[in-house]
Amino acid sequence: MFSRSVDDAVPAAWGTGTGRRALVEAGGTGFAYAVTLVRQGTTSAPRYRDHPEACYCVAGSGEVVEKDGTRHRITPGAIHILDERDPHHFVASDHEDLHLVSVFNPSIVGKERHTLSEDVHSRS
């Protein structure tokens, strides 16, 4: 058994948010754990192409938007599962940050970086 604190994880910033990867491949568990912040009033597309992902909202509100424009409301307690590495982006509400906890399987390495463009779905 071991424990980790998200506060000890190095933040990975991508412009309109940050991620803190508390458990990555080196942890040897076969899955990874990260905490994501999307700043209020912004849109972010931190998609992992090689890792199915489940994101659970712990605070704040916003939406997750699919490539075809389908919108899903995110509030505390909501979970969305990106089982096919689905192209998507997050929209944080105008009045508060959006806080998500994500689990990845297989595990992310921890050095992945997001390259954002005008087309939030441009990455395959």
Report pLDDT for 115: 52
Q: Could you tell me the maximum CA-CA distance found in the chain, to the nearest angstrom?
A: 43
Report pLDDT for 67: 87
Report pLDDT for 17: 86
Report pLDDT for 122: 39
Report pLDDT for 63: 96
Report pLDDT for 108: 79
Q: Which of 16, 37, 19 is nearest to 116 (CA)?
A: 16
Which three-class secondary structure string do you get for the chain? CCCCCHHHCCEEECCCEEEEEEECHHHCCCCEEEEEEECCCCEECCCCCCCCEEEEEEECCEEEEECCCCEEEECCCCEEEECCCCCEEEEECCCCCEEEEEEECCCCCCCCCCCCCCCCCCCC
Cβ burial, residue 88 (10 Å; 0-12/13-18/19+)? buried
Tens-level pLDDT at each residue, the chain (124 residues): 988 888 888 788 777 888 888 888 888 998 988 899 999 999 887 666 677 889 999 999 999 998 899 999 999 999 998 877 778 889 999 999 999 998 988 887 776 665 554 454 433 3
